[in-house]
Amino acid sequence: MKQAAAIRHALEELERMPGVGPKSAQRILHWLLTSDDSSAQRLAEAILEVKEAIHLCPRCHNYAQEDLCEVCGDAERDLGCICVVAEPRDIDAIERTGAYRGLYHVLGGVINPMEGVMPDDLNIADLIARLGAEDVREVLLATNPDVEGETTASYLARTIKPLGLTVTRLASGLPVGGELEYADEVTLARSIESRRTL
């Protein structure tokens, strides 16, 4: 198949984005070529701008545009609690709940021996350093409730508890609004084990 060089090149670059396959790249290309000039311009500028403006927060490894990230730079946060997450996007999910007012620490991944990710590859050493330097009373482990997330949480709990801090973990159980009938067995078993007294 013959295609103009600029089109081939654009499709190649669009397909490099995660979650964008050949069909999606075609649709995006069609949108770029048929929408007004400013759409392509604005998209390209936003991509360059975010890459230029954003670095990792030196304190918690969240994305930051100022010296510190928006959370670390917020004087209203509870400095006594650090919530440990795998990636910056997990911070967005937790912030959307409005249920947490402490600080964060981004690990930059989870322990995954199958893919060669060991504790030394994550931001764990400087989490321990923060716990010594800052006035922290609680560490909330908020990695995903999957195999790698649980492994990482167990490792961190074993490492942090000897420091005399309270270590907590996100609760697992039935999704709010969900139905018993459709819950998987593991989730249902977990919600029974973790049953609350009313």
What are the residues binding a copy of itself (CB under 8 A)?
1-7, 9-10, 12-14, 16-20, 24, 26-33, 37, 39-54, 63-66, 69-71, 74, 87-89, 92, 95-96
User: Least distance from C-beta 86 to a copy of itself, angstroms?
Assistant: 11
* Pair 168, 141: CB distance under 8 Å: yes
- The least CB distance from residue 165 to a copy of itself, in Å, is 26
Task: Decide whether 108 or 173 has the Cβ nearer to a copy of itself.
Answer: 108
Residue holding tokens 């440990």?
84
**Least distance CB 147 / a copy of itself (angstroms):** 21
Q: Is residue 143 within 8 Å of 86, Cβ to Cβ?
A: yes
Nearer to a copy of itself by Cβ, of 32 and 170: the residue is 32
What are the tokens at 25?
């790249």
Total Cβ atoms within 10 A of residue 164:
8
Nearer to a copy of itself by C-beta: 45 or 128?
45
Give the distance from CA 147 to its chain's centroid. 16
User: Of the two residues 63 and 165, which places its CB atom closer to a copy of itself in the complex?
Assistant: 63
Q: Supply the minimum distance, in Å, between the C-beta of residue 170 and a copy of itself.
A: 18
Question: Residue 67 Cβ, how far from a copy of itself at the closest point, in Å?
Answer: 12
For 117-163, where are the E strands, in sequence order? Answer: 138-141
Dihedral-angle region of residue 108 (phi above 0 means left; psi in -120 to 50 means alpha; beta otherwise)? left
Residue with tokens 């195999």: 147
24, 25, 27, 48, 87 from 17: Cα distances, Å = 10, 9, 14, 15, 18
Residue with Cβ nearer a copy of itself (6 or 176)? 6
